[in-house]
Amino acid sequence: MNPADVKSALTFNRVSKSFAGRTILNAVDATVNPGEIVVLLGRSGSGKSTIVNLAAGMEQPDSGSVVLAGHPLAQVSERERTLLRRRSVGLVFQAFNLLPELTVFENVHLRHALDGRDGTKEVEAMLAEVGLAGRGGEHPDHLSGGEQQRVAVAAALVHQPALVLADEPTGALDQVTAGVIVDLLVRLTRGRGGALVFVTHNPEYVAIADRVWRLDDGQLSQERS
């Protein structure tokens, strides 16, 4: 392993991935440094979510390697990958992805619960950070879309992951609410020393980036913003 990998939140080393004979990623090299904000742009179907899925160990590359927070994902068991994902990654999706049968508090507390830790204070602090203090007892289906996404952000960040992967987190929100979610993601990831990969169609979000990735025809081009 390259010693630089140990320090990165995420490294792709010549990662290739095809689906049904179509090359989606062609020997992609990429690194996300700790605390860095990367905005990933690309048209629909270019492979942005595939990058997220590979980074989180939910998909495996056909060739090349993915190193998450210093751990080469191909060299660990499925169980260890699941644990790594739970401890080192925070995921936010377009569709909020909350568990409807759990309360707001329980949704945010889930990682701590799975790891057998109390975490009550952290969860309450996090709910206050996202403007939902006192709402922990409610169920997600009683919340607006923007509020549900704030819960999802709290749940993704409460355990201070090394890497936050946000896949079109504003896609289902109006512009003002989207701005609130972006501000929260940027402030809370930076404030906790985490790195953020923010996937979007919207080139306006380049404004938040330390670095911009553009995915096109299997190639990832990179530029500093």
Ligand X SMILES: Nc1ncnc2c1ncn2[C@@H]1O[C@H](COP(=O)(O)OP(=O)(O)OP(=O)(O)O)[C@@H](O)[C@H]1O
Q: What residue ranges bind ligand X (CB under 6 A)?
A: 19-20, 24, 42, 44-50
3-state secondary structure of 135: coil
Quickly tell me which residue has 């904000």 as its tokens: 37
Residue 48 CB, nearest distance to ligand X (Å)?
3
Q: Decide: 165 and 92 in contact? Cβ < 8 Å.
A: yes
Nearer to ligand X, 8 or 49 (CB): 49
Phi, psi of 90 (to 5 degrees): -120, 130
| Segment near Mg ion (CB under 5 A); pick from 34-42, 45-53, 85-93, 114-122 | 45-53
Nearer to Mg ion, 34 or 171 (CB): 171
Q: Does 50 bind Mg ion (CB under 5 A)?
A: no
Residue 167 CB, nearest distance to Mg ion (Å)?
6
Q: Does 107 bind Mg ion (CB under 5 A)?
A: no
3-state secondary structure of 82: helix
Quickly tell me which residue has 């060739």 as its tokens: 63
- C-alpha separations of 131 from 2, 70, 175 in Å: 41, 33, 18
Nearer to ligand X, 20 or 176 (CB): 20
In the list ligand X, Mg ion, none, the entry touching 29 (Cβ below 5 to 8 angstroms by class) is none
Nearer to Mg ion, 112 or 214 (CB): 214
Query: What gap in Å lies between CA 136 and CA 97, rounded to an integer?
Result: 17
Q: Does 49 bind Mg ion (CB under 5 A)?
A: yes
In the list ligand X, Mg ion, none, the entry touching 19 (Cβ below 5 to 8 angstroms by class) is ligand X
- C-alpha separations of 210 from 104, 203, 205, 213, 223 in Å: 32, 14, 11, 10, 9
In the list ligand X, Mg ion, none, the entry touching 44 (Cβ below 5 to 8 angstroms by class) is ligand X
In the list Mg ion, ligand X, none, the entry touching 88 (Cβ below 5 to 8 angstroms by class) is none
Closest CA to 69 of 53, 82, 87, 93: 87
Nearer to Mg ion, 48 or 159 (CB): 48
Q: Decide: 198 and 37 in contact? Cβ < 8 Å.
A: yes
**Residues of this chain that bind Mg ion (CB under 5 A):** 48-49
